[in-house]
Amino acid sequence: MKKVFSSNYDAIHTFAQRTHPEGRNQSRSVFFEGDKIYSYGYHYLLGEFLDANTILINDEWYSVSTSKHIGILMGATSHYKQYYKTRVDLDYIYTHVFNYLKPKLAKARKPQKYTSEIFSLWNGLNEYINERKETKTRRRKEYKQLLKFVDSLQDTNAIEDLRIWAKKEKEKKQRKEKKTLKEKLNKFYKYEIDFFRVGGLDYLRRSENEQYIETSQGVKIDIDEARRYYNILSSGANMRGERISNFITKSFNDLLTIGCHNISKEQINKISKLL
């Protein structure tokens, strides 16, 4: 029986016909074994027959080429009952709602866009649970948390409560970031670490052998080159386009932006005393 097919299209359509126990295209970027078909390896289950008449398609976007495989599979299996992972998988929906939709909803001027999507996902999930008799799903803590959140959106004060929640979360994140930055800076200045990134700023130190100025992104600049650059900087010259090592200055307003570095004037003044 033929196992190698000339194209993605032929391999996927053969899987859909369910006439072959296994098969693949020539490059093995698509292959199937029994009721399961994969895209570029076992790590991405492209689709799975749940029974003789039903298929679950993994439509969670992964790459441009895999998205093409998804499209072919959707068309090839259109005569079956189709479910899609982004509409019926509890773990995916839970993550999408709480990590993406909830924060968006808390900031939205027009919240209906996000509440509509949340309710649509919730209704689709429950439809799948009922049709497939996946009753164990309802006992999971993620399902119960989703239920509680969806119910809370019925309250007239729901959006205002979410805005208060978002504000508290932002403050909590800022406190955590401030603490982490203090710890990382302390280790950086003690030469215990050479690289860290917390927030949007970068930091400077003189190397232990005093021959370089080092950044918190792990870049080393010869100290003579750093002196040359600082002298130009302190002269008040327009720094845009000025080079230091392999990096080009983009701007010097509130921050000195060089390449991918954002350095505060406070850091510049601090390091100037060590040049």
Among 134, 154, 174, identify where a domain stops: 154
Residues 97 and 138 in one domain: yes
Task: Judge whether 192 and 183 are in contact, CB under 8 Å.
Answer: no
Distance CA(66)–CA(57), nearest Å, equals 12
Residues 74 and 101 in one domain: no
Residues 264 and 208 in one domain: yes
Distance CA(89)–CA(125), nearest Å, equals 7
230 inside domain: yes
Confirm whether pTM is higher than 0.85: no
The whole-number pLDDT of residue 253 equals 83
Residues 78 and 42 in one domain: yes
The whole-number pLDDT of residue 259 equals 87
Distance CA(20)–CA(161), nearest Å, equals 55
Residues 119 and 52 in one domain: no
Residues 125 and 147 in one domain: yes
Residues 107 and 45 in one domain: no
Residues 106 and 77 in one domain: no
Among 65, 83, 101, identify where a domain stops: 83
Distance CA(181)–CA(176), nearest Å, equals 9
Number of domains in the chain: 3
121 inside domain: yes
Residues 115 and 76 in one domain: no
- Residue 42: closest CA among 34, 57, 31, 55: 31
Rg of the chain (C-alpha set): 28
173 inside domain: no
The whole-number pLDDT of residue 99 equals 95
190 inside domain: no
Q: Tens place of pLDDT for every residue, the chain, 275 residues? A: 888 999 999 999 999 999 999 999 999 999 999 999 999 999 999 999 999 999 999 998 778 899 999 999 999 999 999 999 999 999 999 999 999 999 999 999 899 999 999 999 999 999 999 999 998 999 999 999 999 999 999 988 988 989 999 899 989 999 999 999 999 999 999 999 999 999 899 999 999 999 999 999 999 999 999 999 999 988 888 888 988 988 899 988 888 999 889 999 999 999 988 88
166 inside domain: no
160 inside domain: no
19 inside domain: yes
265 inside domain: yes
Structural domain boundaries enclosing 43: 4-83
Residues 65 and 125 in one domain: no
Q: Give 240: exposed, middle or buried? Use CB within 10 Å, 0-12, 13-18, 19+.
A: exposed
Distance CA(215)–CA(188), nearest Å, equals 10
Among 48, 83, 118, identify where a domain stops: 83
Distance CA(68)–CA(65), nearest Å, equals 5
The whole-number pLDDT of residue 238 equals 86
Residues 79 and 11 in one domain: yes
The whole-number pLDDT of residue 9 equals 94
Residues 58 and 98 in one domain: no
